[in-house]
Structure 1
Amino acid sequence: MWRNWAGNQRAEPSRTVVARDAGEVVDAVRAAGRDGLRVTALGSGHSFTAIGAPHGVALRVPADPAAARVDGDLVTVPAGLPLSALNALLWEHGRALPNLGDIDAQTVAGAISTGTHGTGATHRGIAAQVRALDLVTADGSLLHCSPSAHPEVFDAARVGLGALGVLVGVTLATVPAFRLRAVEATLPLEALLADLDGFLTSAEHVEFYWFPHSDVAATKRNDPLPVDGPVRGRAARWAGEELLGNAGFGAACRLARAAPALVPRLNRFVAARMAAGEYVDRSHRVFTSPRRVRFLETEYAVPRAALREAFDGVRAAAARHARAVPFPVEVRVAAADDVPLSTACGRDSAYVAVHVHRGQPHEAYFGAVEDVMTALDGRPHWGKLHTLGADDLRPRYPGFDAFTALRDRLDPDRRFTNPYLDRVLG
């Protein structure tokens, strides 16, 4: 039985295959074709949608860090390598990814295929760092794709949703290793919103959290520092993340479930005591943090100019539907990119993410948020909960029809589909 990290998606694959190299992936795909089975490459299961749910062959792709290769400012890795291992490898070679999301548990293939992003007004998602990729297609061909080799496949497969084939290798652009200085503080929410653009450009990487029913925002601003600078505040950060952010927050969620009427007061209490301070560490240690309290999430990307309207709409939705929700709303930004199914394709974007504790009813709250976001031309994160289908998504992506036409050519028999992909791609 396969299940995702949050526990809200389950599937029973026909068989599981562990492939050690590209040749074994080719063999597994061809065998599945002979047996009439679908193929799903397994990641870490951190998507909340069923994008990674295997209904035929569950295929574990190569992940041996010994196969990774650093060549100047490029790194080539097996697609199944976890981001945590990639970050450690790059640090050993004096390199880093310029931006990361909130966690490092995803595989490289899973992160790029679903459009994982971090935050920063001038920074793009991880898929925009891809410089080449190796893809096994439905007929068992192994394609090396880049801007000069199979360029149309390269463009689409950077955020390919697993629908075009199985990624077995990825080449990413890197930057010299750096440290980050993180400054965390609580601000009055209305003051932050009054100068929202100023806040969004006040540091290289910015984000804020707002607990429904509270009047403050927990902010985080990260700026790069030289790699040889000192590490500071690691113990205080650990206390903030593990004692407040995981253990304390987990206790608050359990209390909220036992006494939902207390949630508005509980949220105000927690928001006022969010970690505040400053620390310096390796970039990947500052970008990412452990998530031990399990939850469900929806996230939409809207044009950055629409962020204030989107956030106000979410506040109204929370007032109606989140009386018992102890989880915050998260806001981030990203620069436009050119990846056809990236949520930031062609436009500077703001991301608004809404969460509930695992097991808590979410349909009304998430549905109200979805109504707000879709009215603002929002694009849902492919790995986070939403109800949109292909007819809803097509007008939101100028390259949607070209992507599905390429899918028809590479996978006419739908070897790489599952019910979620059938819904969102047709």
Structure 2
Amino acid sequence: MTESPAPPEDRARWRNWAGNQRAVADVVRPGSADEVAAVLTAATAAGRRVRPIGSGHSFTGIGSPEDVQLVCDGMVGVRSVTDDGLVTVGSGTTLHRLNAELLRRGWSMTNLGDIDRQTIAGALATGTHGTGARFGGLATQVRGLELVTPDGEVLACSADRSPDVFRAARVGLGALGVVTEVTLQAEPAFALRAVEGPGTLTAALGDFTDLMTSTDHVEFYWFPHTDATLLKCNTRVPLEEGLHPLPRWRAVWDDEILANAAFAGVVAAGRRVPALVPPLARMSAKALGARTWTDHSHRVFVSRRRVRFLEMEYAVPCADAAAVLAELRRVHEASDWRSAFPVEVRVAAADDIPLSTASGRATAYIAAHVPAGNEPGPWFDALEQIAGEVGGRPHWGKLHGLDAGQLRDRYPRYDEFVAVRDRLDPGGVLSNAYLDRVLGPVGAHRPR
């Protein structure tokens, strides 16, 4: 490794996207793996902690710095694309930039979540996923990682090189090293035919499996205080069949005026007069009408989210999803809670990644939201308790109350991950309060 001086530090205030996580730390912006190594070895020698950060879209404290914040925006862009779609990209590249650059080269990501502001490293570290019963989360598309460990080693890992590190680091929580480069398996660019329209929670729960496997990528939003849902069914189609995007006026009306501006008004009104939330929820459920359109895949997968919120999302076994949702509805109807945001429901295939929320089981995701600045209170508590009864696993970047002891019981390969963490970061340089809570301090675990 060529020695490089650590980039200069600037003391700065930091806050995440939702504003619920704040910190003051020294900030460094390395532009290469060697510069990252210099930052980490200096911190190790000084007994300081370093946290890498992407776009700060997590709601938990996973990215919150205590001493040094390592910002990855100097390591961006597509480095190479092979003829068979292996794409190597800088870890600080945002998903929306990656999608645009892939499309220009004739490629697409296999699956995406509905937000594309995250960096690729941040999205992988927290287990970001989309929806689709046959498709895994973003981490299942990873074929290689360049990882800088706290001792300054630049480690290239894949299924064939340092495979134990590769297995764990695909959803690594930023706890194993600083990811500086990612190699992903892309596929030839494709389109999605989107069919969206109203449904009911009663119908969704009555035939959950058939509904969620009816097309390639299915999700729905349930509006509490009602039985109404907004159902989204996306089918993969070749680009050769042609694109039929929404007319500009319809996209602006639906996605900017109704889904963002009008919804912001609903949230604001509900904050001022909580009694208005139920009728406003019924109005919101009826506002978005049916529509069908076909566009490049990433333009269908991704939605604009201009209204800021806090989120809790639990991954439960697919077989238990309908019962969890039914109980969540029952508890909500028996309470006096006011929930302006819809509950989002998605699915994903099982994978083999130790700390993936879909590790070893086909998974349904159930997400609840409250406006940013609000206390989640009993609404989130209810979801956590109900999901916990079926072994629910919280999204690493979304709010939850679990600790290492509870999480260890929900992940059969939890100890495998922690053993890799303890070996690569024996001094806890990459840890913070959140990681100490969910993984335990370095060396705290013993074999089962």
TM-score range, shorter chain: over 0.9
Deviates more, 1:191-200 or 1:229-238: 229-238
C-alpha displacement of 1:276: 2.1
Query: Which residue in the other structure is 2:3 paired with?
Result: none
Q: 1:220 to 1:67 in 2, by over 3 A?
A: closer
Alpha-carbon distance in structure 1 between the residues aligned to 2:90 and 2:52: 13
Query: Which residue in the other structure is 1:256 paired with?
Result: 270
Alpha-carbon distance in structure 2 between the residues aligned to 1:319 and 1:359: 24
Query: Which residue in the other structure is 2:133 paired with?
Result: 121
Match 1:22 to one of 18, 26, 33: 33
Write the letter of the residue equivalent to 1:336.
A
C-alpha displacement of 1:84: 0.7
C-alpha displacement of 1:110: 0.4
Q: In the TM superposition, what whole-angstrom CA distance separates every residue of 1:100-124 from its partner, at most 9, and x where no partner exists?
A: 0010000000011100000000000
Query: Which residue in the other structure is 1:152 paired with?
Result: 164
Match 2:337 to one of 311, 323, 327: 323
Q: State how 1:11-160 maps to structure 2 within 5 Å.
A: 11-13=23-25, 15-61=26-72, 63-66=74-77, 68-72=79-83, 73-160=85-172
Q: State how 1:224-235 maps to structure 2 within 5 Å.
A: 224-228=236-240, 229-235=242-248
Alpha-carbon distance in structure 2 between the residues aligned to 1:275 and 1:83: 29
Alpha-carbon distance in structure 2 between the residues aligned to 1:322 and 1:68: 53
Query: What secondary structure, in the 3-state scheme, does the structure 1 residue paired with 2:98 have?
Result: helix
Write the letter of the residue equivalent to 1:82.
T
Write the letter of the residue equivalent to 2:24.
E
Query: What secondary structure, in the 3-state scheme, does the structure 1 residue paired with 2:210 have?
Result: helix
Q: State how 1:168-207 maps to structure 2 within 5 Å.
A: 168-207=180-219
Q: State how 1:186-335 maps to structure 2 within 5 Å.
A: 186-228=198-240, 229-235=242-248, 236-321=250-335, 323-335=337-349
Alpha-carbon distance in structure 1 between the residues aligned to 2:27 and 2:360: 38
Write the letter of the residue equivalent to 2:314.
Y
Q: 1:411 to 1:321 in 2, by over 3 A?
A: farther
Contact 2:316 2:392 in 1 (8 A): yes
Query: What secondary structure, in the 3-state scheme, does the structure 2 residue paired with 1:257 have?
Result: helix
Match 1:360 to one of 374, 388, 394: 374
Q: 1:138 to 1:65 in 2, by over 3 A?
A: closer
Q: 1:231 to 1:322 in 2, by over 3 A?
A: farther
Contact 1:313 1:369 in 2 (8 A): no
Query: What secondary structure, in the 3-state scheme, does the structure 2 residue paired with 1:2 have?
Result: strand
Alpha-carbon distance in structure 2 between the residues aligned to 1:234 and 1:151: 48
C-alpha displacement of 1:234: 4.1
Q: In the TM superposition, what whole-angstrom CA distance separates every residue of 1:103-152 from its partner, at most 9, and x where no partner exists?
A: 00000000111000000000000001100000000101010000111000
Q: 1:26 to 1:320 in 2, by over 3 A?
A: farther
Write the letter of the residue equivalent to 2:213.
T
Query: What secondary structure, in the 3-state scheme, does the structure 2 residue paired with 1:12 have?
Result: strand
Write the letter of the residue equivalent to 1:29.
L
Q: In the TM superposition, what whole-angstrom CA distance separates every residue of 1:234-292 from its partner, at most 9, and x where no partner exists?
A: 42233211011000100000111111011111111111222421111111011011110
C-alpha displacement of 1:61: 2.2
Identity %: 51
Deviates more, 1:191-200 or 1:413-422: 191-200
Deviates more, 1:87-96 or 1:274-283: 274-283
Write the letter of the residue equivalent to 1:231.
H
Give every structure 1 segment of 4 or more consecutive aligned residues whose post-TM-superposition deviation is greater than 3 Å.
Answer: 62-67
Contact 1:100 1:287 in 2 (8 A): yes
**In the alignment, does 2:406 pair up with 1:392?**
yes
Alpha-carbon distance in structure 1 between the residues aligned to 2:88 and 2:74: 12
Alpha-carbon distance in structure 2 between the residues aligned to 1:283 and 1:274: 21
**In the alignment, does 2:22 pair up with 1:10?**
yes
C-alpha displacement of 1:405: 1.1
Contact 2:44 2:427 in 1 (8 A): no
Alpha-carbon distance in structure 2 between the residues aligned to 1:209 and 1:219: 7
C-alpha displacement of 1:363: 2.1
C-alpha displacement of 1:315: 1.1
Alpha-carbon distance in structure 2 between the residues aligned to 1:254 and 1:28: 44
Q: 1:116 to 1:209 in 2, by over 3 A?
A: same
Query: What secondary structure, in the 3-state scheme, does the structure 2 residue paired with 1:339 have?
Result: coil
Deviates more, 1:129-138 or 1:190-199: 190-199
Q: In the TM superposition, what whole-angstrom CA distance separates every residue of 1:310-330 from its partner, at most 9, and x where no partner exists?
A: 101221332345632200101
Unaligned runs of 5+ in 2: 1-12, 441-448
Query: What secondary structure, in the 3-state scheme, does the structure 1 residue paired with 2:113 have?
Result: coil
Query: What secondary structure, in the 3-state scheme, does the structure 1 residue paired with 2:264 have?
Result: helix
Match 1:401 to one of 398, 406, 415: 415
Deviates more, 1:367-376 or 1:268-277: 268-277
Contact 2:75 2:91 in 1 (8 A): no
